[in-house]
Amino acid sequence: MPDFKEYPKNKLSIYIADPRVENWFLMPRWTPILTIIIIYYLVVLIGPILMENRRPYTLRNVLKIYNFVQVMISGYMFKEFVISAWQSSYSLQCQPVDRSNSPQAVRMAAACWWFFFSKVIDLLDTVFFILRKKNSQVTFLHVYHHGSMILNWWLAGKYFPGGQIFFQCTCNSFVHVVMYTYYFLSAFGPAVQKYLWWKRYLTQLQLIQFLAIIVHLIYGMSRTCDFPFVLNCYIIIYCITLISLFTNFYIEAYQHQRTDRLEIQAAIQEKRARSIAAGGTGTNNYANNSYMNNLRNGFIKNSSENGCSGPTMISNGYGTDVNGNGPMAYLRR
């Protein structure tokens, strides 16, 4: 294969497709990846219609296997990025793409390919939501995030397999290890879910990741780094859109949940007072213990039962019982 020295010594050379990945799966032409993206959006549009009159699939064992495999893939990628960067003496300040055929450079390119391919696998998250009729989880954020990542990383793997983007890949691989571990454990049901108190911190971890990537890229741009300026700008803008969407999700998912909890506590106190005034015991164990404990742990119709990745919210954004009633339904009984 051609060596890096065969390319013209100017920054335009980076926009030539990397010949090392020419024969790698899904990399040679645009057609396969565009076909996958089109099929994905068709599934998003048509899937809920096809499932409308069908019973939802449980898929609990399938989700356990799927999430476990995702943990393994993400862990493998994290290891490959860290080791490849370490052996190649990568710089956090500025790292151009190494297109040579050295073992370290090829290993980094292979890790970037795996990162791209993992985004193809991630599309199954949406498929599982639709098959289980969890359509409230197929939000704009979910579809935008999954649909755009696959194209972004196909382009990165074909033209820029390494260099500055190694930092983004490393961060995201680590986040996915944590995230899919959570979804793997949550797929075991309520017996395990009650210990997953750290669910809300997954979104915080995502936001920290995007901010770290932006800081890393801006710092590299300030040092006249030999890495495409346009690509840096695009990634920064893309991360800003994700920060905006994830922040909105976080506020909707957890701020409203906190408001619901306060309303429920006030209603419980009011009902208890009425019960005492009427000569009762003043207790409502079902509402007080069962419902409040579930809401406190975030498992009232919780999307963690889906066992899938991506931003997730309580079923309708705030919390419902199994019949779709709102958070005050138990207290009206």
d(CA 202, CA 11): 38
Q: Which two tokens stand for residue 157?
A: 């793997």
Cβ distance 327 to 318 under 8 Å? Answer: yes
d(CA 31, CA 15): 19
- The catalytically annotated residue of 142, 145, 146, 216 is 145
Task: Please indicate whether residue 146 is annotated as part of the active site.
Answer: no
Q: Which two tokens stand for residue 329?
A: 């339904």
Alpha helices in 11-139 (DSSP H): 30-51, 60-87, 103-122, 124-131
d(CA 85, CA 167): 9
CA angle 292, 296, 299 (to 5 degrees): 95
Q: Which amino acid is present at 90?
A: Y
**How many angstroms separate the Cα of 233 from the Cα of each of 104, 161, 217, 221, 224?**
27, 17, 8, 9, 13
C-beta neighbour count of 9 within 10 angstroms: 7
Q: What DSSP element (H or E) covers 100?
A: none
User: Among residues 229, 234, 235, 226, which one has the least CA distance to residue 4?
Assistant: 226
Classify residue 155 as exposed, middle or buried by CB count within 10 Å of its CB (0-12, 13-18, 19+). middle
Cβ distance 193 to 69 under 8 Å? Answer: no
DSSP reduced 3-state for 275: helix
Q: How large is the greatest C-alpha to C-alpha distance in the chain, in angstroms? A: 91
- To the nearest 10°, the Cα dihedral for 69, 73, 78, 81? 180
d(CA 266, CA 257): 14
Known catalytic residues are 145
